[in-house]
Structure 1
Amino acid sequence: MALQPTFFVFDSVRDGKGPTLKMTAKRYTSGKSSENSRGLTLILTHCIGSHKEQWEPAIERMFELQRSKPPHQRIREAWSFDWQNHGDAAVLNREALLKRPQGVSVYEWATALAEFLQSPQMRGHRIVGMGHSAGAGAVMLAAKDFPPTNLPYAAIVLIEAAMVTRAVFNSQLEDRMEQMNFAVNATLTRRDTWESRETAAAWLAKRYPWSEWDPRVVRLLAVRSSTSVSQDRADSDRLIAARLTAD
């Protein structure tokens, strides 16, 4: 059964570091899954340089795998979030981000996620946090201000978690910083403009690490996380708006 996505925009808490940023998300259900109040609600976060839609093939597969399970083991709904300077959020926050040269830390993303976890939207939900790489850190940090006896998650799934203890990090500081700088520089310097989304998908599919990815995820990166640009600013804004409202 096909996924049923709904697009959301959330205002983040004002932190004094610049203009308030928005966080974007998609809520996925399948069939009548949202009626299963005993089911699980997945909270999904992505890695650096990616976007919320990267999870769609995995979400679809998880819905398929649990369909025959008891109600309390089925998925009620899945929420996938964009970091405030990634994906649709980056488009919405474009002007604000230009005034924040320091960027957006994972702590700020985690704060926005924590607000969502405490919102009426999640009241009564059995939540499973699922984070990939830097997103794993966001999932964990989002829970840091909850009392140990009242954590927001029923379970946590961390994939390639970019986390170590402070003691281990400091004991290998030079190596850790080298790895972090490599990841950041690779993201900042990689090609980001193509003649079309089809050209982008073909280019990515031939190069590491994307050549190792599921082809569906590569295509989602090229199609869903890109936006049209133009020398004509007004035209650019019109195309971006069309891209967002198409959801």
Structure 2
Amino acid sequence: MSQFPAPERRVLSLHTTLGTDPVELKYVTLYYPVSSSKDGLTLVFTHGIAGHKEQYDPTITRLLSHDQTRATIKDIWVLDFPNHGQTALLNRPVLDARKASGKGACTTADFALYLRAFLSSPWLNTSSVVGIPHSGSCTLWILALASTNPCPTPFALVMIEPTLMFPSLSPTDPRSIHGAANVRGCLAKRDRWENMEALVKWLVGGKGVWRKWDERVLSTYVQHGFEEVNESESDGKSYVTPTLRKDEESPLYACLSHTVEPEALGRACRAVEEAGRGVHVVWAEFEQFISKAAREEILDAAENRVVSQRIIKGAGHLIPQEKPDGLGEALIEILDEIMHGVGKRKAKM
């Protein structure tokens, strides 16, 4: 197996809007220049709520370890959203100034505009883009694609555990129940530790979702999802806190933040189908967040245009964090189908 490239850390700027205000935001990306193939695919990974770009490191390593798959990829971009991961550190002055003026935190609609600005940027001008979003970031792709002023349509879209919701959502639906619990729980959760060692001990020794994570993903989370803040310059005291502030994270779990019209999902799926190789979906084995009924609802709204479906064995909703190698293997299969145009409307469950 030939050696594949290490990612380049790139800091770029995007002209977009927050609310109705035009702003220039920074974003930190990981960029993999995989091959010189002009006909190769450009993969664009986006993370879920409270995630960060480095969570995909083990998945991408597994993906690129497959020689035949690597030969079909031109390059890979992995994005942070504006107030997530290390990108949040660069945008913190803008974000805090908005909150101080009463304008609130970033919404999923803001994230969708940010994504649209990236997809419309010169870096992707001649690319055959395959979007690979997880969880809440699937909403952003659908909002961007179904907009009255849509972004360039990707060649294919691979949605991992999409938390798409519709206006008719029942309050007894697991997405409603877990969404409301996450809104409340986020504000109540601990967000300050005396040092990184104390943080790691709390994450590993607690009862939270982190105990199920792959060790490599947990390591990147500690490294890139938190920062050390000086509490007082006079005495040198500091503490560790998430780069995504919990008052910014909490509203992103609200059901309305991920509610789209069924027609919008259908329109987005039609556009991707017409542009290339359609929409693929990856589900978790354990229905922690998206029930079988919810899956059927999403597939129906997608007008049954989903090309293929896969289930990652042993995974809950946080597939990239829990089963990164299994996700990498699934993506190898999907990219092979995309490149060869097979599997039209095929369901592999």
Fold shared per TM-score above 0.5: yes
Query: Which residue of 1 is the match for residue 196 of structure 2?
Result: 197
Aligned partners of 1:201 and 1:223 also within 8 Å: no
Deviation of 1:229 after TM superposition, in Å, equals 0.9
Aligned pair count reads: 227
Asked if 1:229 corresponds to 2:229, the answer is yes
**2:130, 2:201 → 1: CA distance?**
34
Instruction: Describe how 1:81-160 pairs up with structure 2 within 5 A.
Output: 81-98=79-96, 99-100=98-99, 102-145=104-147, 152-160=153-161
Deviation of 1:43 after TM superposition, in Å, equals 1.1
Query: Which residue of 2 is the match for residue 11 of structure 1?
Result: 14
Query: Which residue of 1 is the match for residue 57 of structure 2?
Result: 56
**1:196, 1:78 → 2: CA distance?**
34
Q: Which sits farther off after the overlay, 106-115 or 81-90?
A: 81-90
**1:103, 1:142 → 2: CA distance?**
19
**1:7, 1:63 → 2: CA distance?**
20
| Equivalent AA in structure 1 for residue 109 of structure 2 | Y
| Equivalent AA in structure 1 for residue 28 of structure 2 | A
**1:24/1:147 Cα in 2 relative to 1: closer, same or farther (>3 Å)?**
closer
Describe the SS at the equivalent of 1:93.
helix
Deviation of 1:22 after TM superposition, in Å, equals 1.7
**1:147, 1:12 → 2: CA distance?**
16
Query: Which residue of 1 is the match for residue 334 of structure 2?
Result: none
Q: Deviation string for 1:20-46 (max 9, x for gaps)?
A: 26242323326xx24222211111111
| Equivalent AA in structure 1 for residue 14 of structure 2 | D
Aligned partners of 2:14 and 2:117 also within 8 Å: no
**1:209/1:142 Cα in 2 relative to 1: closer, same or farther (>3 Å)?**
same
| Equivalent AA in structure 2 for residue 114 of structure 1 | R
**1:160/1:154 Cα in 2 relative to 1: closer, same or farther (>3 Å)?**
same
Describe the SS at the equivalent of 2:162.
coil
Describe the SS at the equivalent of 1:56.
helix
- Name which of 14, 23, 28 aligns with 1:25: 28
**2:210, 2:32 → 1: CA distance?**
27
Q: Deviation string for 1:74-128 (max 9, x for gaps)?
A: 2222212122121123222223222235211111111111111111110111111
Q: Deviation string for 1:119-158 (max 9, x for gaps)?
A: 111011111111111111112222223789x952111111
Runs of at least 5 residues in structure 2 that lack an aligned partner in the other structure:
238-349
Asked if 1:184 corresponds to 2:183, the answer is yes
TM-score, with length taken from structure 2: 0.58
Deviation of 1:215 after TM superposition, in Å, equals 0.8
Deviation of 1:16 after TM superposition, in Å, equals 5.1
Runs of at least 5 residues in structure 1 that lack an aligned partner in the other structure:
237-247
Aligned partners of 1:23 and 1:112 also within 8 Å: no
Query: Which residue of 2 is the match for residue 219 of structure 1?
Result: 219
Query: Which residue of 1 is the match for residue 76 of structure 2?
Result: 78
Aligned partners of 1:45 and 1:82 also within 8 Å: yes
**2:19, 2:212 → 1: CA distance?**
41
Query: Which residue of 2 is the match for residue 241 of structure 1?
Result: none
Query: Which residue of 2 is the match for residue 243 of structure 1?
Result: none
**1:16, 1:69 → 2: CA distance?**
40
| Equivalent AA in structure 1 for residue 134 of structure 2 | H
Q: Which sits farther off after the overlay, 21-30 or 219-228?
A: 21-30
Identity within the alignment, %: 28
**1:219, 1:206 → 2: CA distance?**
14
**1:220/1:189 Cα in 2 relative to 1: closer, same or farther (>3 Å)?**
farther
**1:135, 1:225 → 2: CA distance?**
17
Q: Which sits farther off after the overlay, 120-129 or 201-210?
A: 201-210
Deviation of 1:173 after TM superposition, in Å, equals 3.9
Deviation of 1:213 after TM superposition, in Å, equals 1.1
**1:114/1:187 Cα in 2 relative to 1: closer, same or farther (>3 Å)?**
same
Q: Which sits farther off after the overlay, 81-90 or 154-163?
A: 81-90
